[in-house]
Amino acid sequence: MKIEPTSFSQIPFEFSSFKKRDFASFVEGENQPLIYSLNTIIEKEKNDSLYIWGPTGTGKTHLLQAACKKAYEINCHVTYIPLKQYKDFSFEMLDGLGELDLVCVDDLEYISDSIEWQQRLTLLFNEIRDNHNSIIISSAVSPKNINIELNDLKSRLVWGQVYKIKSPNDELKIEILRKKAAERSFQLGNDVAEFLIRRSNRDLNSLIEILAEIDRSSLAEKRKVTIPFIKKLIS
C-alpha cells in the first residue's frame, strides 16, 4: 500500500471538516492526564494503544479528530475511522492501515454485531503493534463491559492505556457553551447559559445542537440572544 506523505489514508471525510476540532477548542476540565497521553502518542514519544470511553456528549469524537488533525500537521500518516457509519463502507478499508503512524477508531460499540469487522480490527491491532505504531479507540462502553463477541479483540483493547473521560460539571458546560457561541461569532451571557442548562437536555451534545439553532434563529430574526428569546425558541 502506497502512502502519500502527510495524508489521511482512506479517510471517509474531507480534512476540512476537522478544522474546528482541535485541542485548543476542547475544554479539558479534569481530563488533563488524558490530553497529556494523547499528545505523547501523537508526537511519537511513545507508541501505544489508548482506549477512551465515557457517555455521549463528553467529547470523545472531538478528541479523536483533534488527534488526527495534530498528527497530520506534524507530518504523520494518520486515518480516522467512524464506526458509527461502518455499514457505509467495507471492512477491507482497514487493509494496510497498520503501516500508518496513527489510526483513530471512533464508536467501537457499533460493530458489536459484525464479527467480520471485529476480526479485521484484531488483525489491525497486531499490524500496528508489529510496526511500532499507535491506535486510539473511543467507545461509550468500557473495554470490560463492551459487547464484543471476539475475545481476541477484547483482550487487545486493554493492551495499552484505558481512560474514562470525565463528564463536565455545570460550570464547565457553561464555559464550553460560551466558547462554542464565540466560535459562531455571538455572545452568550452566563445567565443565558445557566438557563439553557436548567431548561433543556443536560447532555452536552444536545446543548450544542440547541446552540446551533439559537444561532440560526437569532440571525434570521435579527434578535439578541436573551432568556426571553430562548424561552420562545425552546417552547
Q: Which three cell numbers stand for residue 116?
A: 467480520
For residue 7, with 0-12 CB atoms within 10 Å meaning exposed, 13-18 middle and 19 or more buried, which class applies?
Answer: middle
pLDDT digits (tens, 9 = 90+) for 165-192: 998 888 888 888 888 888 888 888 899 9
Question: How far apart, in whole angstroms, are the C-alpha atoms of residue 203 and residue 81?
Answer: 24
- Per DSSP bridges, beta strands 49-53 and 78-82 are unpaired
pLDDT > 50? residue 57: yes
Question: How far apart, in whole angstroms, are the C-alpha atoms of residue 190 and residue 106?
Answer: 33
The alpha carbon of 150 is separated from its chain's Cα centroid by a whole number of angstroms, namely 24
Q: What is the pLDDT of residue 35?
A: 96
Q: What percentage of residues in the chain have a pLDDT greater than 90?
A: 53
| Over residues 65-81, mean pLDDT | 93
Q: What is the pLDDT of residue 14?
A: 46
Q: What is the pLDDT of residue 162?
A: 97
**32-36 contact pairs (CB < 8 A, 24+):** 33/163, 34/63, 34/163, 34/165, 35/63
The rounded mean pLDDT for the chain is: 87
**Binning pLDDT at 50, 70 and 90, where does residue 20 land?**
low
**Binning pLDDT at 50, 70 and 90, where does residue 146 land?**
very high
Residue 115, CA atoms < 13 Å, CB-side half-sphere: 3
pLDDT > 70? residue 17: no
Element (H, E) at 105: strand 102-106
**Binning pLDDT at 50, 70 and 90, where does residue 204 land?**
confident
